[in-house]
Amino acid sequence: MLDVMTPLAITAHTATSAIGRGRAAHLDALRDARSGLRPNDFSSAPLACWIGRVDGAEDIVLPNALGVWACRNNQLAWLGLHQDGFLEHVQAACARYGAARIAVLLGTSTASIGATEEAYRRLDADGGFADDMLRPAIHTPHSLAAFVATALGLEGPCLTVSTACSSSAKVFANAERMIRLGLIDAAVVGGVDTLCDSVLFGFNALELVSPTPCRPFDAARDGISIGEAAGFALLERIDGAPDAPQLLGYGEASDAHHMSTPHPDGLGAELALRDALARAGLDASQVDYINLHGTASQKNDEVEAALVGRAFPARTRASSTKGFTGHTLGAAGIVEATIALLAIEHGLIPGNLGGDTPDPVCGASFAWRNEQQRVDVALSNSFGFGGNNACLAFARAGFAA
């Protein structure tokens, strides 16, 4: 049995996705049930599908000193870092603890592979990368975390977690362990993924992309809509920030079933959920809201809805917000952590946008429309290819299980 963990304070957090830049924009879109999805206008030969694109990501110009890192993914990271006063919070933490005592732990599924794709589209005459693409640091999975550490001037542990769509949920666990062991005093966690041909054509090849805006948990759902996003959180010890919302627990587990299909009984997802509740010292009945993984793929939603039905009472409300943002892949964990924290802060259960004809497998917990109620405890589910599952538990400031 796991020990109950000492909660961590979330002293800053932010998200930038198709529904806007920063927390206020996200809250507005959720309140108005306004999707950020649009017909695919990305790449030179767009597939017929819908995407969650961040307006203006391509127009962000990095400062000269960071120019070597320029690419869509790092530009979106830069845009995300500038929302909700996040940079100022990190600077203050840096002044408190020192640059070497703050880690940068970021999740991404494809990092800046879009830049590598571009390099291959315009190879020079001898078949190599064109001169302006000869920037080794962006043609590697660590591009994002290395860029963010450089941009923030942080010198502690710096790690990329790349476990597909659970990536930016798992980084909360990395941070908790390092803080508990005294390796660091604070961590910048989060993640960024951007639209690129690899994921658009890749998920299309797997026949997992819907031709329409995605419909999570709808009886007629027919696949995902791919999105892009950046999100960050600053984690510190709770004793120095008693008024901040809390990370109460986390769980991680493996399906050991299939590379691209979830375990039919949701085994790994349930193990991750149990571990998150155990670390948080929570009973399932104390959970007010669950932000579901809910990708709108046939299999994920079926397995996840069954898990909600058997693990939670009807008073626990549940919804997917992929209908707002699209599936932001490696960034989904942090975007949905931010939405879970908004639910706590504003007492808003976001409705499950796109689920107009609920799948009968969905029980009484599903919130199909927005609901207003106090939320003390919120969970966020994130599941990835390779059967990689994560569950995070958050609570309002001062909550004790």
Any idea which residues carry the catalytic annotation?
A: 165, 293, 327
Question: Minimal distance in Å, beta carbon 361 to another protein?
Answer: 24
Question: Minimal distance in Å, beta carbon 342 to another protein?
Answer: 27
Question: Minimal distance in Å, beta carbon 158 to another protein?
Answer: 4
355 binds another protein (CB under 8 A): no
Report d(CA 222, CA 219) in Å as an integer: 9
| 318 closest CA partner among 278, 280, 275, 361 | 361
DSSP string, 66-82: GGGG-SHHHHHHHHHHT
Site string for another protein, 195-214 (x = CB under 8 A): --xx--xxxxxxx-------
HSE-up (13 A, CA, CB side) for residue 42: 28
Tell me which residues in 90-129 interact with another protein (CB under 8 A): 99-100, 109, 113, 116-117, 119-121, 123, 127-129
Residue 4: is it exposed, middle or buried by C-beta count within 10 angstroms (0-12/13-18/19+)?
middle
Tell me which residues in 212-231 interact with another protein (CB under 8 A): none
Contact region with another protein (CB under 8 A), list: 53-61, 82-90, 241-249, 380-388: 380-388
HSE-up (13 A, CA, CB side) for residue 138: 23
Report d(CA 115, CA 72) in Å as an integer: 8
Bridge partners (DSSP) of residue 189 are 105, 233
Asked if residues 181 and 157 have their Cβ atoms less than 8 Å apart, the reply is no
| 372 closest CA partner among 398, 349, 391 | 349
Question: Minimal distance in Å, beta carbon 223 to another protein?
Answer: 13
Residue 79 tokens read as 């845009």
Instruction: Report which residue type is found at 333.
Output: G
User: How many angstroms from the chain centroid is the CA of residue 196?
Assistant: 17
Asked if residues 116 and 197 have their Cβ atoms less than 8 Å apart, the reply is no
CB-nearer residue toward another protein: 33 or 123: 123
- Give the residue, chosen from 19, 54, 71, 146, that forms a contact with another protein under the rule CB under 8 A: 146
CB-nearer residue toward another protein: 155 or 345: 155
Question: Minimal distance in Å, beta carbon 370 to another protein?
Answer: 34
- Contacts with another protein by CB under 8 A: the residue count is 71
| 249 closest CA partner among 223, 217, 220, 286 | 286
Instruction: Report which residue type is found at 336.
Output: E
Question: Minimal distance in Å, beta carbon 79 to another protein?
Answer: 23
Instruction: Report which residue type is found at 312.
Output: F
Contact region with another protein (CB under 8 A), list: 62-70, 318-326, 360-368, 386-394: 386-394
- Give the residue, chosen from 385, 397, 399, 401, that forms a contact with another protein under the rule CB under 8 A: 385
267 binds another protein (CB under 8 A): yes
Question: Minimal distance in Å, beta carbon 70 to another protein?
Answer: 16
Segments in 182-262 forming alpha helices (H): 197-205
Instruction: Report which residue type is found at 390.
Output: A
- Give the residue, chosen from 227, 262, 268, 350, that forms a contact with another protein under the rule CB under 8 A: 268
CB-nearer residue toward another protein: 143 or 321: 143
What SS3 class is residue 310?
A: helix
Give the Cα-Cα-Cα angle 288, 235, 1 (nearest 5 degrees): 60
CB-nearer residue toward another protein: 146 or 331: 146
Tell me which residues in 34-63 interact with another protein (CB under 8 A): 45
Bridge partners (DSSP) of residue 254 are 388
Tell me which residues in 291-350 interact with another protein (CB under 8 A): none
276 binds another protein (CB under 8 A): no
141 binds another protein (CB under 8 A): yes
- Give the residue, chosen from 142, 317, 322, 396, that forms a contact with another protein under the rule CB under 8 A: 142
Question: Minimal distance in Å, beta carbon 337 to another protein?
Answer: 17
Site string for another protein, 152-191 (x = CB under 8 A): ---xxxxxxxxxx-----x--xx-xxx-xxxx--------
Contact region with another protein (CB under 8 A), list: 214-222, 266-274, 281-289, 331-339: 266-274
CB-nearer residue toward another protein: 54 or 164: 164
CB-nearer residue toward another protein: 218 or 255: 255
Report d(CA 267, CA 349) in Å as an integer: 26
